[in-house]
C-alpha cells in the first residue's frame, strides 16, 4: 500500500524511472519487488565508494 502510493506520487510528479537499491543477498526483498511489478534493471550500473574501515 505504501509502495503503491509512492509510485502513484512519483508518476504524478512526472517521474519516468525509479531505481530501487536492494542488496544482492536480500532475496526476500527482491522477490517482494518482483511481485509488485519491479524488475532487475541489468542496464543500470551503480558505482560506490566506501570510506569506512
The x, y and z cell numbers of residue 44, run together, are 543500470
Phi–psi pair at 18, nearest 5 degrees: -125, 135
Q: pLDDT, tens digit, for every residue of 3-47? A: 999 999 999 999 999 999 999 899 999 999 999 999 999 898 889
Specify the pTM: 0.76
**Domain locations along the chain:** 19-53
In this structure, the dihedral spanned by the alpha carbons of residues 35, 47, 7 and 9, taken in order and rounded to 10 degrees, is 170
Grid cell at residue 32: 517482494
| Per-residue burial over 22-36, b = 16 or more CB atoms within 10 Å of its CB, e = otherwise | eeeeeeeebeeeeee
The per-residue pLDDT for 44 is 87
Amino acid at each position: 500500500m505504501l509502495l503503491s502510493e509512492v509510485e502513484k506520487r512519483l508518476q504524478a510528479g512526472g517521474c519516468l524511472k525509479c531505481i530501487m537499491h536492494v542488496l544482492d543477498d536480500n532475496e526476500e526483498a527482491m522477490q517482494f519487488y518482483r511481485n509488485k511489478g519491479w524488475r532487475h534493471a541489468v542496464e543500470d550500473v551503480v558505482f560506490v565508494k566506501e570510506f569506512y574501515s
